[in-house]
């Protein structure tokens, strides 16, 4: 019988303790937060009618802008308009009069709401507000400002339209088991939608007319249980919505797929492969970060050095997801249009890597993103240190 490592036992005991301690709050939230929000808290919500009609393709764009709208917010709105899409803007904070007026000129609706339920709380308010119009729409996009949208050879909106699917995300996650870092050489890349936690990331989603005309879609949102806990929001929102789509038989895809990532990166030469491995962004996994650093010290031109780089890249995507961990690769080899913001404030090494990658961005949107990234580092990331193990 294989002996379980002591560190793993300690980790699981700590996790169980945290879960037990938080159980009363979880039960209360599960039973009461949604009805409390719908009956009382939502009275603080203000819905403003904008200048545009709710018709054709509509994009719900959720923003959280404590310092007011930034250049990247205006860039996203400009991209939405450029592609003939009407925005419905949801703000999880009160807007200034200037920002509100600017948004109303460009939007069908502007919704200011209490910050309850993270992004899915805001998405829910917007979807329910448009309930009667949903069956008439050609497509509904759902976006938030947890990413920057930058210049790319082809826009994400065009990729969505070309996909021809009922449900499209930018990236997916949890399509493969998250194995122990020390076993990275044993990882077999078998990415599948059959994993119970498989889901599309909620920063960029699109739903076609078949879904929008399905009464069950509206029921999903009406019954959605709000949470002010990030992991529970991911479980009920990102995972829940994806599994709803799959269980109802709708076709779906990600524009930045990873099903054949292993074959893709094996085509890289040794220099390119080494560069991809060195530029992995690993914001919340110190063991994985250390293992990557160890791997890239090996000789890239040996069979072992090459194979280890391939395996550590795959292990990183398995544990951290493509959207977080591979900005260098997705920009250079995929022409991907999104960059996640959170790594700027989660660990120093990840933050440094992101700043280095973003310093090479070209075009107004890229330069705006790079400038905002530096400001994020100076504010939220100013006290960053190296990660330490929680075991």
Q: What pLDDT sits at residue 4?
A: 61
86-91 vs 57-63, strand pairing mode: parallel
Enumerate the β-bridge partners of residue 96: none
Residues 6+ apart with CB under 8 A from 99: 65, 68, 69
Distance CA 223, CA 25 (A): 19
Enumerate the β-bridge partners of residue 205: 142, 169
Helices (H), the chain: 6-28, 34-39, 71-82, 97-106, 118-129, 156-163, 209-212, 215-223, 230-233, 240-247, 261-266, 270-278, 286-295, 303-320, 322-325, 327-329, 348-358, 363-379
**Domain 43-254, architecture per CATH:** Alpha-Beta Complex (3.90)
Torsion (CA) 96, 85, 55, 204 in degrees, nearest 10: -80
Looking up tokens 């994400």 gives 156
What are the tens digits of pLDDT across the range 195-232? 999 999 999 999 999 999 999 999 999 999 998 888 88
Answer whether residue 344 shows pLDDT above 50: yes
pTM higher than 0.85: yes
pLDDT band for 2, please (50, 70, 90 cuts): low
Distance CA 166, CA 177 (A): 26
147 SS3 class:
strand
Please answer whether residues 291 and 318 qualify as being in contact, where contact means their C-beta atoms are separated by less than 8 angstroms.
Answer: no
Please report the DSSP string for 6-50 in residue order.
HHHHHHHHHHHHHHHHHHHHHHHIIIIIHHHHHHTGGGG-EEEE-
Q: What pLDDT sits at residue 387?
A: 39
What are the tens digits of pLDDT across the range 86-104? 999 999 999 999 999 999 9
Angle at 154 between CA 148 and CA 155, to 5 degrees: 45
Answer whether residue 20 shows pLDDT above 70: no
141 SS3 class:
strand
Answer whether residue 16 shows pLDDT above 90: no
H/E segment holding residue 112:
strand 109-112
DSSP state, 174?
Answer: -
Tokens of residue 101, six digits: 């007026």
Torsion (CA) 166, 171, 177, 182 in degrees, nearest 10: 170
Distance CA 318, CA 261 (A): 11
Please answer whether residues 27 and 229 qualify as being in contact, where contact means their C-beta atoms are separated by less than 8 angstroms.
Answer: no
H/E segment holding residue 142:
strand 139-144
What are the tens digits of pLDDT across the range 292-314? 999 999 999 999 999 999 999 99
Tokens of residue 337, six digits: 């249009």
Residue 153: count other Cβ atoms within 10 Å of its Cβ: 8
What are the tens digits of pLDDT across the range 152-205? 999 999 999 999 999 999 999 999 999 899 999 999 999 999 999 999 999 999
Looking up tokens 């996640």 gives 340
Looking up tokens 């729409």 gives 137
Q: Give a three-class secondary structure readout of 215-230.
A: HHHHHHHHHCCCCCCH
Residue 362: is it exposed, middle or buried by C-beta count within 10 angstroms (0-12/13-18/19+)?
exposed
Domain spans, the chain: 10-39, 43-254, 261-379
């Amino acid at each position: 019988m294989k002996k379980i490592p002591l560190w793993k036992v300690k980790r699981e005991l700590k996790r169980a303790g945290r879960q037990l301690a938080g159980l009363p709050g979880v039960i209360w939230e599960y039973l009461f937060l949604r009805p409390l929000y719908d009956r009382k808290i939502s009275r603080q919500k203000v819905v403003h009618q904008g200048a545009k009609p709710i018709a054709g393709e509509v994009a719900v764009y959720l923003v959280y802008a404590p310092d007011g709208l930034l250049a990247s917010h205006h860039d996203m709105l400009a991209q939405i308009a450029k592609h003939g899409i009407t925005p419905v803007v949801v703000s999880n904070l009160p807007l200034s009069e200037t920002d509100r007026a600017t948004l109303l000129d460009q939007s069908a609706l502007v919704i200011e709401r209490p910050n309850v339920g993270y992004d899915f709380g805001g998405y829910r308010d917007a979807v329910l507000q448009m309930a009667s119009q949903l069956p008439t729409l050609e497509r509904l996009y759902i976006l938030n400002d947890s990413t920057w949208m930058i210049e790319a050879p082809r826009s994400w909106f065009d990729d969505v339209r070309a996909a021809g699917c009922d449900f499209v995300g930018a990236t997916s996650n949890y399509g493969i088991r998250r194995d122990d870092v020390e076993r990275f050489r044993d990882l077999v890349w078998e990415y599948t939608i059959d994993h119970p936690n498989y889901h599309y990331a909620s920063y960029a989603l699109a739903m076609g007319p078949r879904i929008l005309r399905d009464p069950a879609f509206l029921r999903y949102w009406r019954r959605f249980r709000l949470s002010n806990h990030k992991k529970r929001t991911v479980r009920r929102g990102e995972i829940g919505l994806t599994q709803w789509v799959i269980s109802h038989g709708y076709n779906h895809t990600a524009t930045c797929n990873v099903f054949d990532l292993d074959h893709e990166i094996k085509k890289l030469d040794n220099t390119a492969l080494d560069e991809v491995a060195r530029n992995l962004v690993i914001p919340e996994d110190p063991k994985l970060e250390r293992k990557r650093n160890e791997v890239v010290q090996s000789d890239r031109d040996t069979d072992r050095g090459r194979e280890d780089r391939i395996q550590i890249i795959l292990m990183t995507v398995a544990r951290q997801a493509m959207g977080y961990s591979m900005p260098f690769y997705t920009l250079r080899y995929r022409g991907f249009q999104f960059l996640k913001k959170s790594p700027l404030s989660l660990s120093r090494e990840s933050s440094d890597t992101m700043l280095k990658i973003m310093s090479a961005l070209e075009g107004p949107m890229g330069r705006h993103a790079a400038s905002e990234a530096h400001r994020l580092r100076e504010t939220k990331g100013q006290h960053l240190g190296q990660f330490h193990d929680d075991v």
